[in-house]
Amino acid sequence: MITIKEIAKELGMSTTTVSNVIHKKTGEVSPATVEKVEEALKEYNYIPNMSARNLAQNESKIIGVAMRAREDKYDNALNDPFSGALIGGIEKSLRYTGYYMMIYISDDVSELAKHISLWNADGLILLGILGEEWKEIKKHYAKPTVFIDSYFDNSLKQLVNVGLQDRKGAYDMTKYLISCGHRRIAFMADNCIGVDEERFNGFVQALQEAGIAFDREKDFLFHIPAREERQKSYARICDRCREYTAVFCASDYYAVNLMNELENRGIRVPEQLSIVGFDDNYYASAHRPALTTVHQDPEYKGELAVQQLIRMIQGEELEENRILLPTEVIIRDTVKVINR
Amino acid sequence: MITIKEIAKELGMSTTTVSNVIHKKTGEVSPATVEKVEEALKEYNYIPNMSARNLAQNESKIIGVAMRAREDKYDNALNDPFSGALIGGIEKSLRYTGYYMMIYISDDVSELAKHISLWNADGLILLGILGEEWKEIKKHYAKPTVFIDSYFDNSLKQLVNVGLQDRKGAYDMTKYLISCGHRRIAFMADNCIGVDEERFNGFVQALQEAGIAFDREKDFLFHIPAREERQKSYARICDRCREYTAVFCASDYYAVNLMNELENRGIRVPEQLSIVGFDDNYYASAHRPALTTVHQDPEYKGELAVQQLIRMIQGEELEENRILLPTEVIIRDTVKVINR
DNA sequence: CTGAAAGCGCTAACAC
DNA sequence: GTGTTAGCGCTTTCAG
């Protein structure tokens, strides 16, 4: 691996000149020299040493992508269409910017914080992080940061976030269910914070506007995804389903799993029970019956996050620090129209 | 961000001592000093600067994961269950080893080669790389390297690879199709090199053993995945399908897409045409009818690759340099038993 | 057991 | 236009 110094010696010039040519600061260098240096660079196949460059410039050209992943839910965090598409979108946008992506995934926020500061990343994209958790990270990291799909209280309104109109999406879908004649509708999720909370809020709002009662204790089907609990949890939920005409699942992933569990128990969708999801990933469209769901574009989310981050790194002003992408109700085959 | 030097000054000792404590070379240091230093490290929340460390030690603690992705096929390379699970497996295994993952994805091998050498990665995992392409990379990179799913000619037999019994998997599945009474079987893929070639070879071998003729020109349904060509390609293939009783798709992805296209054209699976796939990802199990396919475990592939790589980095001997993981035929609902 | 100092490869201020 | 040099933060050799 040849170094600048060696090339300089070979050519009988100083490292500064070589460095200047490399960085195209050619205003400072005579054309003849430029050419000579460039030839040598080619010939010896010069590759810069990033560590040295980073050390000297105190920047790293690394973008950290840190993902908080619940271990009970994911043992393989990328093996999920949403994360896959999202990280893929980030990677794709980063590819030609001269920045390199380093991924950290952990259940443990302080673990994430450690990794982030180790590499002195020039920017950070944070997935699945709550406001409280951010405070832990902030202690160690002060450079440009973009959140994806985070919700904060007002004290953190200045943070940059790329998210989704979760509430509106759920609201629209719920109105659709109601318009199909459904009035006994359950909500299924494995938590009620952040994104899922917003979806739940939209759901409840639509019910309220339609004058439909919702009993949070009874009608919120709380799923437990941990491996040992999973089957029992589905069994319980499938049992409870008989009391409803429709179930709004907070994600396609659960909608499809639930449908399969229902099928195993001989409960037909949508004839006996309507199901809707959220996300519109390929689970939704590949499943039969195809899932009626709320569409979003995670890849685009990733791309936008990168755009915002790069702007921040370059010191540009952001037009908006809180982007909420629109959603769309996709009607497929899992909702039955009920005659009243 | 506090440095070793600053801590040393604060404590009135040399950087060497502090460094020794950090690296637990405590044989060299008195217990009292160790304690004092450790306290200071905690108090000032010392975080090492990776660039400096790497520069001094000429190692990077980075594992490069380079993926050759056909741009006509994937604009988002991670948005694919196979890659997602695989990279997820790699990430998971790397998480506790003290190595950090840097991902490069490109259609262009020399682009990949450049990125790899830039960061001086301590080890490299290569996805979707052919023997010829490796030679380009080798020019720039000489450290431990593990391939995933590559096939080489004999001149490269010493390379380390983690792969799959693609040939046997396809062979077994084809025998199953034959045992169900199928004799007019087409093969669908978008290429015939590497993995898909092996699958094709296994397919043909089973046909030959059963005395069934295969016309490579006619019976190999060559799909063109490029966006502009895609629909036309599916239309052609759906047309051609009428001549067969079964189609062996080289991947679940295509099997499911093909089934959906067939459905759109009113051709019923498996009543009118049997379809099988390869990979057993969630497309396969979520689709209705559920796809009969060949199972593999991409996450485990990723984990094994990391294991092998870490061994190589640590200078251990590998027991085997070419691992081929087993496959399993998963019988679901897309193959009809034909009465003869 | 501890410290001084060289050097990893590169950049950039400054002198010529 | 070009060269000299200090220094980025850390490791490590070698003296003491």
Q: Write out chain A residues lying below 8 Å of B120, CB-based.
A: 1, 49-51
Q: Write out chain A residues lying below 8 Å of B127, CB-based.
A: none
Separation of A18 CA and D4 C1' (Å): 14
Separation of A2 CA and D12 C1' (Å): 23
pTM above 0.85, yes or no: yes
Given this model, what pLDDT does residue A40 score?
Answer: 92
C6 C1' closest Cα residue: B56
Spell A75-114 as b/e; 16+ CB within 10 A means b. Answer: ebbbbbbbbbbbbbbbbbbbbeeebbbbbbbbeebeebbe
- CB of A12 under 7 A from strand D? yes
- Residue among A118, A120, A299 minimizing CB distance to B79: A299
Q: Tell me the C-alpha distance between A207 and A210, whole Å.
A: 5
Q: Angle, to 10 degrees, between the axis of helix B227-241 and the axis of helix B252-264?
A: 70
For residues B300 and B272, the answer to whether their CB atoms sit within 8 Å is: no
Q: Write out chain B residues lying below 8 Å of A281, CB-based.
A: none
For residues B242 and B265, the answer to whether their CB atoms sit within 8 Å is: no
Q: Tell me the C-alpha distance between B220 and B120, whole Å.
A: 43
- CB of A32 under 7 A from strand C? no
Distance from CA of A27 to the nearest CA of B (A): 26
Given this model, what pLDDT does residue B225 score?
Answer: 92
B106/A102 Cβ within 8 A? no
B89/A100 Cβ within 8 A? no
Given this model, what pLDDT does residue B285 score?
Answer: 86
Q: Tell me the C-alpha distance between B17 and A229, whole Å.
A: 51
* Interface residue of B78, B111, B117, B282 to substitute, partner A, most A CBs within 10 Å: B78
| Chain A residue with minimum CA distance to B297 | A79
- Positions 120-149 in B, CB within 7 angstroms of strand C: none
Say how many residues make up chain A. 340
| Chain A residue with minimum CA distance to B112 | A95
**For chains A and B, what is the number of CB pairs under 8 angstroms?**
132
Same fold, A62-164+298-326 and A166-296: yes
Cis peptide before B289 (omega within 30 of 0): yes
Architecture label for domain A62-164+298-326:
3-Layer(aba) Sandwich (3.40)
- Residue among B1, B55, B76 minimizing CB distance to A52: B55
Q: Write out chain A residues lying below 8 Å of B48, CB-based.
A: 118
Q: Write out chain B residues lying below 8 Å of A60, CB-based.
A: 51
- Positions 29-88 in B, CB within 7 angstroms of strand D: 48-49, 52-53, 55-57
> Element (H or E) spanning A91, and its range?
helix A81-94
Q: Write out chain A residues lying below 8 Å of B79, CB-based.
A: 81, 84-85, 88, 299
Q: Which CATH number fits domain A166-296: 3.30.930.10, 3.40.50.10470, 3.40.50.2300, 2.40.30.10?
A: 3.40.50.2300
* Interface residue of A42, A44, A50, A51 to substitute, partner B, most B CBs within 10 Å: A51
**Both tokens assigned to B265:** 């054209």
Cis peptide before B270 (omega within 30 of 0): yes
Given this model, what pLDDT does residue B116 score?
Answer: 86
Q: Write out chain B residues lying below 8 Å of A85, CB-based.
A: 76, 78-79
D9 C1' closest Cα residue: B52
Which of left, alpha, beta for B253 (phi over 0: left; psi -120 to 50: alpha)?
alpha
B50/A51 Cβ within 8 A? yes
Question: By C-alpha distance, which of A155, A100, A106 is closest to A123?
Answer: A100
Separation of A14 CA and D4 C1' (Å): 9
Given this model, what pLDDT does residue B208 score?
Answer: 98
B48/A55 Cβ within 8 A? no
Q: Tell me the C-alpha distance between B201 and B191, whole Å.
A: 13
Distance from CA of B177 to the nearest CA of A (A): 24
Q: Tell me the C-alpha distance between B225 and A71, whole Å.
A: 36
Which positions on strand C lie below 7 Å from a protein C-beta? 1-5, 7-14
Question: By C-alpha distance, which of B300, B298, B336 is closest to B185?
Answer: B336
- CB of B9 under 7 A from strand D? no
Given this model, what pLDDT does residue B282 score?
Answer: 84
Distance from CA of A82 to the nearest CA of B (A): 8
For the residues of B191-251, what is the DSSP string, one character each?
A: --SHHHHHHHHHHHHHHHHTT----HHHHEEE---SHHHHHHHHHHHHHHHTT-SEEEESS
Given this model, what pLDDT does residue B340 score?
Answer: 61
Q: Write out chain A residues lying below 8 Å of B60, CB-based.
A: 51
Q: Tell me the C-alpha distance between B284 and B82, whole Å.
A: 12
- Positions 11-40 in B, CB within 7 angstroms of strand C: 12-17, 20, 27-33
Given this model, what pLDDT does residue A340 score?
Answer: 61
D8 C1' closest Cα residue: A56
Type of residue found at B334: T
Residue A285's Cβ-side half-sphere holds a number of Cα atoms within 13 Å equal to 14
Question: By C-alpha distance, which of A89, A93, A124, A88 is closest to A109?
Answer: A124
* Interface residue of B2, B50, B79 to substitute, partner A, most A CBs within 10 Å: B79
Could you state, in order of their start, the residue ranges of all structural domains in chain B?
4-48, 62-164+298-326, 166-296
For residues A187 and A200, the answer to whether their CB atoms sit within 8 Å is: yes
pLDDT values of chain A reduced to their tens digit, one per residue, 340 residues = 899 999 999 999 999 999 999 998 877 788 889 999 999 999 999 999 999 999 999 999 999 999 998 887 777 888 888 999 999 999 999 988 999 999 999 999 988 888 888 999 999 999 999 988 999 899 888 999 999 999 999 899 899 999 999 999 999 999 999 999 999 999 999 999 999 999 999 999 999 999 999 999 999 999 999 989 999 999 999 999 999 999 999 999 999 999 999 999 999 999 999 999 999 998 898 788 999 999 999 999 999 999 999 999 999 989 999 999 999 999 999 999 997 6
A102/B91 Cβ within 8 A? no
Separation of B102 CA and C3 C1' (Å): 38
Distance from CA of B286 to the nearest CA of A (A): 5
Separation of B167 CA and D10 C1' (Å): 51
As averages over each run of 10 residues, the pLDDT of chain B (340 residues) reads: 92 92 83 92 93 92 93 79 92 92 91 87 94 89 95 92 98 98 97 96 98 96 94 96 96 94 94 98 86 97 97 92 97 91
Spell A241-255 as b/e; 16+ CB within 10 A means b. Answer: beebbbbbbbbbbbb
- If you ran DSSP here, which 8-state letter would residue B155 be given? G
